[in-house]
Structure 1
Amino acid sequence: MSEDDEPMTNSANSEPAGAATGTLTDPPEGESLLRVSGLKKHFPVTKGLFKRQVGAVLAVDGLDFDVRSGETLGIVGESGCGKSTMGRLITRLLEPTAGKIEFEGKDITHLGVGGMRPLRRDVQMIFQDPYSSLNPRHTVGSIVSAPFKLQGVQPEGGVKKEVQRLLEVVGLSPEHYNRYPHEFSGGQRQRIGIARALALNPKLVVADEPVSALDVSIQAQVVNLLDDLQQELGLTYVIIAHDLSVIRHVSDRIAVMYLGKIVELTDRQSLYGTPMHPYTQALLSAVPVPDPRRKAAQGRERILLKGDVPSPMNPPSGCRFHTRCWKATEVCRTTEPPLVPLATGHEVACHHPENAPDQQPGDTKLLRLADGVGTAG
Structure 2
Amino acid sequence: MTISEWSDGAAPAGSGGAAPARPPGDALLKVTGLRKHFPIKKGLFQRQVGAVRAVDELDFEVWPGETLGVVGESGCGKSTMGRLITRLLEPSAGTVEFEGTDITHLGVAGMRPLRRDVQMIFQDPYSSLNPRHTIGTIVGAPFALQHVSPRGGVKKEVQRLLSVVGLNPEHYNRYPHEFSGGQRQRIGIARALALKPKLVVADEPVSALDVSIQAQVVNLLDDLQQELGLTYVIIAHDLSVVRHVSDRIAVMYLGKIVELADRDSLYKAPMHPYTKALMSAVPIPDPRRKHAKNDRILLSGDVPSPISPPSGCRFHTRCWKATERCGTTEPPLLELLPGRRVACHHPENIEAEAARGG
TM-score by length of 2: 0.91
* Cα distance in 2 for residues equivalent to 1:188 and 1:245: 22
* Cα distance in 1 for residues equivalent to 2:339 and 2:135: 45
- Pair 1:337-2:337 in alignment: no
Q: CA deviation at 1:50?
A: 0.8
Q: Deviations over 1:291-348 (max 9, x none)?
A: 2225578x76110100110000000000000000000001100000000001264200
RMSD over equivalenced CA pairs, Å: 1.6
* Cα distance in 2 for residues equivalent to 1:248 and 1:30: 25
- Pair 1:326-2:325 in alignment: no
Map 1:277-292 to 2 at 5 A: 277-292=272-287
Aligned-pair identity (%): 81
Select 2:259's aligned residue among 241, 264, 268. Answer: 264
- 2:344 corresponds to: 350
Asked if the contact 2:116–2:197 (Cα under 8 Å) also holds between the matched residues in 1, the reply is: yes
Asked if the contact 2:3–2:224 (Cα under 8 Å) also holds between the matched residues in 1, the reply is: no
* Cα distance in 2 for residues equivalent to 1:67 and 1:37: 12
Question: Judging changes above 3 Å, is the alpha-carbon distance between structure 1 residues 259 and 2 closer, same or farther for their aligned structure 2 residues?
Answer: closer
Map 1:19-168 to 2 at 5 A: 31-168=26-163
Question: Judging changes above 3 Å, is the alpha-carbon distance between structure 1 residues 231 and 300 closer, same or farther for their aligned structure 2 residues?
Answer: farther
- 1:303 corresponds to: 297
Range with bigger deviation, 29-38 or 263-272:
29-38
Asked if the contact 2:6–2:164 (Cα under 8 Å) also holds between the matched residues in 1, the reply is: no
* Cα distance in 2 for residues equivalent to 1:260 and 1:350: 15
Question: Judging changes above 3 Å, is the alpha-carbon distance between structure 1 residues 265 and 91 closer, same or farther for their aligned structure 2 residues?
Answer: same
Give 5+ residue unaligned stretches, structure 2: 10-22, 352-358
TM-score by length of 1: 0.87
Question: Judging changes above 3 Å, is the alpha-carbon distance between structure 1 residues 2 and 259 closer, same or farther for their aligned structure 2 residues?
Answer: closer
Asked if the contact 1:306–1:324 (Cα under 8 Å) also holds between the matched residues in 2, the reply is: yes
Q: Which amino acid aligns with 2:212?
A: S
The higher radius of gyration belongs to: 1
DSSP-derived class of the 1:138 partner: coil
Q: CA deviation at 1:178?
A: 0.3
DSSP-derived class of the 2:326 partner: helix
Q: CA deviation at 1:34?
A: 0.1
Structure 1 runs (4+) greater than 6 angstroms displaced = none
DSSP-derived class of the 2:316 partner: coil
Q: Which amino acid aligns with 2:343?
A: A
Question: Judging changes above 3 Å, is the alpha-carbon distance between structure 1 residues 51 and 2 closer, same or farther for their aligned structure 2 residues?
Answer: closer
Q: CA deviation at 1:289?
A: 1.6
- 1:222 corresponds to: 217
* Cα distance in 2 for residues equivalent to 1:2 and 1:240: 24
* Cα distance in 2 for residues equivalent to 1:6 and 1:248: 27
Q: What count of residue pairs does the alignment treat as equivalent?
A: 337
DSSP-derived class of the 1:32 partner: coil
